[in-house]
Structure formats: C-alpha cells, structure tokens
Structure 1
Amino acid sequence: MAGKKTTLAAIAREAHVGIATVDRVINQRAAVRPETERKVIAAAKKLGFALEKSHRLFETAGKPVVRVKMGFILLRKAHSFYAQLADSLMEQAALYHDPASPPQFIFHDISAVNETAAAITSLSQRVDVIGVLALDNPMIGYAVEEATRRGVKVFTLLSDLSVHSRTGYIGLDNQQAGRTAAWAVERLCRQPGDVGVIIGDNRFLCQETCEISFRSYLREHQSGHRVLEPVRNHEQAESARQVTQALLAQHTELVALYAPCGGVEGIIAALRGSGRQHEITLVCHGPVDGGEMALFDGTLDLMLRHRITEFAATVINTFVSAVTHDSSGFIHVINRFDLITQENI
C-alpha cells in the first residue's frame, strides 16, 4: 500500500497521533473517532501514501463519499448512560449525514412495548439504518421484520433480539461480563452467603445472559454462595432503591449484589442508607452517575464500564459499512469493557 519512503511513523508525526492509531486507520483494524480517522487519512495523502480505494473513509474533494440516514431507539434520556450514548453517537455520525438529515433519536421507557414498535415502523420509513435497544418482545420483533422487508438495516445495540431478519448485533459479550462479575464476587466476598441480582427486565436479553452466566460461574466453581432470584428495577433509580431495601430487609445473610442494569444510583443510595455498604460487595455495570465517589467511599467495589465513545464509533462505522457494502451474513461486533476499582479510576 505505501510508498517506499512513507512510513506509519511519518504519518503519525504529520497527524499528531500515535503509530498504533495510524495502524488502526490505515489497516482498518479497529474503530477510532471519525475526526481522528479523517486527520490520519489527510496526513497520509499529503505524504503520498497510496490509500486503497476501498477504504471506508476514502475522500473526494475533502468530503466523505457516504451519506447515511440513521435512526436510533434508546431507553429514556433521563438515564445518564443513554444521554451520554446519544451525544457520542451524534458526534461520531457528524461526517456521514447531510445537515438537513441528522440522526434521529427516539427515547422510550423500557416497558413501552407498543410505542417502541411504532417507533421502529416510523423510523423505517425515513432512514437507511436503525439501531434498536429494546426488550425481546414479539411486537417489537414484528416491527423489526417489517422494517427489514422495506430494505432498512436494523441492528440491535447492547441487547440482542430473537429476530432472524435483524442485520446484526453491536455490544458487549454478555456471557463474558456475567462471568467476570461472578469472578469478582467470588474473590471479594470473605464468606459465602446470599447474592442478590438486580435487573431492568426479564425480557432484556443482555441482562438475562449476564445473570445466567453469573450463576453458571459460581455454580461451576462451587463458591458456596446462594444466588437469589433476580428482582426488577425497570431501569429506574427509585425502583432500584426500593428493591435493594427489600433485599436488605429480607436477607440478613446478603453478602453481595450484582447489577447489570441501569438505575444503579438507587442501589448505592439504599446501601448507604442501610449502613451496610462496607459489608456487602457491589458489582455493577456503568458508567453510573456518582460512580467514582461510590468507588472512593467503598459502597461500590467493581464497575464493568462500557467504553461509550469507542462503542459509538463502532456503531457508526458498522452502519456506514452495512449501508455501502451489501452483506448477506449476520454482522456480530463485540466491544470491550473496562474493570474499574477505586485504585484505577
């Protein structure tokens, strides 16, 4: 690909980025921020580096060739995680849409099945590709099938759906996440006891997989812990506070809580209010509002934190690729998560 005198190091110096970043862009190994990718490509072209015509960001007259109409269906924006995700998706999509057709976002309550299905149908009439985060419900599945019959690409984000016609899934390996959480509980708890699991909803497949994998690990390693039946918080902090208070009252031998859900702020508040926050190991998914302070004061022990910016970049790049390169196979893209403790915030 490159001319003899043009090295990745030279491109890195010209673009003011690291060599690893240049390698990711030139060889399309992993997603980076669109503005960074554009800067690397501009530097490469300036130095005479021969980019492949198939490169996803190959430019003409300084503008990307691709324009994509995108739609997103996420949970309520009042939840800090989804507000951050929406902002990142909008930022990463900036290069790929006309000013008059920005990405469209619809936010819904986790239990608003009819509204979510209607939103999928509505968006499918106006966009090329849709990213959906929703419960695995037959009505939602039917709406996805109808959208794909119209030729719209539909990706599940973070939580998959049992719909064969979907284009792909982009998110965590939830089996890995659940087993990682169980590994932490096994090692952090000083004695066996009851372990509570708090989820948003039983039909949220990401959380179902996390819970099953969490149980499987502890059973496999004969930890001696008794994993309780999961309780729902509907992804709401106040509901999470209430169900946590109930768990604390009903299970005096509670030693740990696992929360692969939203609304963790309520769990933290309940533990602090009980005075038992240093007796009970809390492992959650994040980011979480106030999560750093909860780690500092010992209420929260371990956070499996999504890499939101990286995830958003992956989503947008996958959308663009799916729209511009017709693929008959299922697209399965896994993003990594970080393990955060009070020692590495």
Structure 2
Amino acid sequence: MNPTMTDVAKEAGVGVATVDRVINKRASVRPETAQRVLEAAENLGFRRAGLIRHRIDERMAGYRLGFILQKRSTHFYRALGEALIAAAQMQTAPHGKAIVEFLDELTPQHMVAKLHELSSKVDAIAIVAADHPQISQAIGQLSAQGTPVFALISDLTAEACAGYVGLDQRKVGRTAAWAISRLSGVPGKVGLMVGSHRYLCQEQAEISFRSYFREYAPEFQVLETLISLEDIHLAQVATLDLLKRHPDLVGIYVAGGGIEGVIQALQEGDGPPGLVTVCPDLTEITRQALIDGRVDMVISHPQEWMARRLVEVMSDAICAKGTKDSVQSILPFTTYTAANV
C-alpha cells in the first residue's frame, strides 16, 4: 500500500495541511519544517517526494543573502564568513547567492553606507553591529523598502529589526564569572575587557559577569572595564598595562573583540602565576592558547549551527514578505578547556 499524505504528516510530526501547503504552495512553510516533510516523504517512499523536493528547491532558488561582519583581520569572522557562505550554498541551491562583506572601519556611518550599498544586491541582510540610532534608522528604511535586516551575535534595539540569532549573553557572562571564581586559587582583582559598550551582547555579558560576582563571590574585586574598540593592538596594549598596574590580578574576562591582542600580551607580559583567563570563540589562536595554558576557558558560538539557523530565518522572512514577527533564535554555547580541544 502506497504511503499517503497522512502517513507523511505523521512521520514528519506535522499536520496534513502542512504537507499540502508544501506540495501545492498554498501558504508559507518554515524551511526547516518543509525539510522535515521532505525527509519523511523520502523515507516512506511517498510517490510525490520528488515534487516536494522540487517545491523546496523552487522556493529557495534565487534567494540573495547579504552578511556584514566585523574586521577581516579577526580569525573568528573569517571563519564565520566561510560558514555563512557554505550554509547559504547548501540551503538556497541551485541558484542562491551569498555576499559576505567585512567592515574594517566600525563606525555607524560605515555600517549605514554598507547597508544601503548591499541592499541593492540582496533580498535580506544580517549584520554584526553596535547599537546606534543611525543604524536603527537605516534598518527602518530598508525594512520599509522590503529588505529585512537581522542582528547576528549582538542584538539591536531597532524596532524594524527582523530578528536576532545568537547566544543568551546573560548566561555567557555568568558562566565566565563562575569559571574565574571557581578556578582562581584565591580571591583578588579581576580584569574585564569589551570592544564597546554599544555592542549589546558585550554590555549584557559585562552586566551579568559583575552581577554573578556580587551575588556569589563578593570577595573578588572586578576592576573598571577596559575598551578595545575591537582592535587587536589596542587590546594588547591595554592588557600589558593591566598586568603592569595590577601584579596581583587573578583573572581576566575578554567579553569582546581583540582576543588575539590579549593573548599576545599574555605571551609577552609577566603575568601573575595562576591567572585565570576566559575569552570568546574557539579559533586557531584561542585553541593554541588553551593548549599552551594561557587561556583557561573559551565560551564559543556554534558557528556552523548559527550559520544554518541564520540562513533559515532569513529565507523564511523573504518568503513571508514582511508578514512575520521578529524572530529571536537563541543558540546554546559551547565551553572549551585544554581538556576538550
């Protein structure tokens, strides 16, 4: 007996109406839901599985996705750019297109200019950006023109922002504080560095980092926050100065960019014994720092998963043509130590 639409719906965990929408294009279906329907149809040998695959390819074909990332000199963003291109190629085949742009000048003016430039080439955009009124205004303008803009890694307050894909930064900051308070042999001074307070992800991580120490480890002294402006050299200089001014430092948490500079400073400077360092994102640089013992914990974005999820929500927004509410997609982070890299 040939499998029916009811069988496919049951196998996919959806309603029969959803299967019908995928086959007959009666209404929008989330990309991941359509993919489940396809997998169920193929697993069951459903006679219209080929048509379902055609519908999915037809729906995704030709989507043009744009991504604006931070400095190309950063290992993390270069790797993320590659992951985004791979995810877009996989999920918008056969004729989809991904454009990844890097910003070496991180001013709001440069971001706004790049947004408007890219909007003429793509159907949806995702950006890693500081929160600023000029950027919010640009997002509103593009949204009104039919180009949804998503926040990646760092959320944005723009009312017209189509959604956010990233981590729960409250958990990130408190996890970093937990690690330093538990791994440090004695209480003492703790350094903290962000790229800029305008990155909401870093601001939330900093607030949560401090709140954990107030609540659970008040015997530690969290020092005034250092600013790196996402610049490797500035981060290096600031860390060397921190080590010089506070020889009794017991911990450093890097919540933002410039980690390469911090690691260079830890290699060059005369850091106190037992210094506990926590930083973001597993790269070639941070992996080696874990192995060498210069960094104790890395709190990392799931890059490939994040890229796939972002492409899904962007494609869904294009298909919905502005009828969907803002999407908040919070992903779990991974913690790395020298024992699991």
In 2, the alpha carbon distance for the partners of 1:50 and 1:173 equals 43
Superposed CA RMSD: 3.1
Partner residue in 2 for 1:66? 60
Among 254, 259, 265, which residue is 1:264 paired with?
A: 259
In 2, the alpha carbon distance for the partners of 1:98 and 1:344 equals 35
Partner residue in 1 for 2:116? 121
Partner residue in 2 for 1:106? 101
Among 87, 92, 109, which residue is 1:92 paired with?
A: 87
- State whether structure 2 residue 39 is matched by structure 1 residue 45: no
Partner residue in 2 for 1:337? 333
In 1, the alpha carbon distance for the partners of 2:95 and 2:166 equals 29
In 1, the alpha carbon distance for the partners of 2:288 and 2:140 equals 44
In 2, the alpha carbon distance for the partners of 1:76 and 1:110 equals 8
| Offset of residue 220 of structure 1 | 1.0
| Offset of residue 264 of structure 1 | 1.1
In 1, the alpha carbon distance for the partners of 2:299 and 2:11 equals 37
Change in 2 beyond 3 A, CA 1:267/1:60: same
| Offset of residue 270 of structure 1 | 1.1
Change in 2 beyond 3 A, CA 1:305/1:2: farther
Task: Look up the SS of the partner of 1:279 in the other structure.
Answer: coil
Contact 2:68 2:126 in 1 (8 A): yes
- Tell me which amino acid in the other structure corresponds to 1:65: R
- State whether structure 2 residue 265 is matched by structure 1 residue 286: no
Contact 2:169 2:201 in 1 (8 A): yes
Contact 2:31 2:315 in 1 (8 A): no
Contact 2:57 2:92 in 1 (8 A): no
Among 245, 249, 264, which residue is 1:250 paired with?
A: 245
- State whether structure 2 residue 308 is matched by structure 1 residue 316: no
- State whether structure 2 residue 204 is matched by structure 1 residue 209: yes
In 2, the alpha carbon distance for the partners of 1:173 and 1:110 equals 27
Contact 2:41 2:49 in 1 (8 A): no
In 2, the alpha carbon distance for the partners of 1:83 and 1:131 equals 15
Change in 2 beyond 3 A, CA 1:324/1:279: same
Aligned positions of 1:134-153 closer than 5 A: 134-153=129-148
- State whether structure 2 residue 187 is matched by structure 1 residue 187: no
Unaligned ranges ≥5, structure 1: 9-27
In 2, the alpha carbon distance for the partners of 1:291 and 1:31 equals 33
Identity of aligned residues (%): 33
| Offset of residue 97 of structure 1 | 4.6
Partner residue in 2 for 1:161? 156
Work out the number of aligned pairs and report it: 318
Contact 1:192 1:223 in 2 (8 A): no
- Tell me which amino acid in the other structure corresponds to 2:334: D
| Offset of residue 49 of structure 1 | 4.8
TM-score (norm 2): 0.84
- State whether structure 2 residue 250 is matched by structure 1 residue 239: no
In 1, the alpha carbon distance for the partners of 2:323 and 2:183 equals 45
Instruction: Provide Cα deviations, 1:35-89, integer angstroms capped at 9, x if missing partner.
Output: xx69x94684264258999xxx942178342232211111012211111111111
Change in 2 beyond 3 A, CA 1:167/1:343: same
Partner residue in 2 for 1:174? 169
| Offset of residue 296 of structure 1 | 1.8
Instruction: Provide Cα deviations, 1:261-313, integer angstroms capped at 9, x if missing partner.
Output: 22212211211222426421000111233222211221110000111011100
Between 129-138 and 269-278, report the one with greater CA deviation. Answer: 269-278
Change in 2 beyond 3 A, CA 1:176/1:52: farther
Change in 2 beyond 3 A, CA 1:186/1:168: same
| Offset of residue 102 of structure 1 | 2.0
In 2, the alpha carbon distance for the partners of 1:343 and 1:2 equals 48
Unaligned ranges ≥5, structure 2: 13-28
In 2, the alpha carbon distance for the partners of 1:61 and 1:43 equals 15
TM-score (norm 1): 0.83
Partner residue in 2 for 1:24? none
| Offset of residue 149 of structure 1 | 1.0
- Tell me which amino acid in the other structure corresponds to 2:101: I
Change in 2 beyond 3 A, CA 1:278/1:321: farther
Contact 1:51 1:58 in 2 (8 A): yes
Change in 2 beyond 3 A, CA 1:62/1:306: closer
Contact 2:185 2:274 in 1 (8 A): no
| Offset of residue 109 of structure 1 | 2.8
Contact 2:249 2:272 in 1 (8 A): no
Instruction: Provide Cα deviations, 1:146-190, integer angstroms capped at 9, x if missing partner.
Output: 111111111100001111111111101111100111111110111
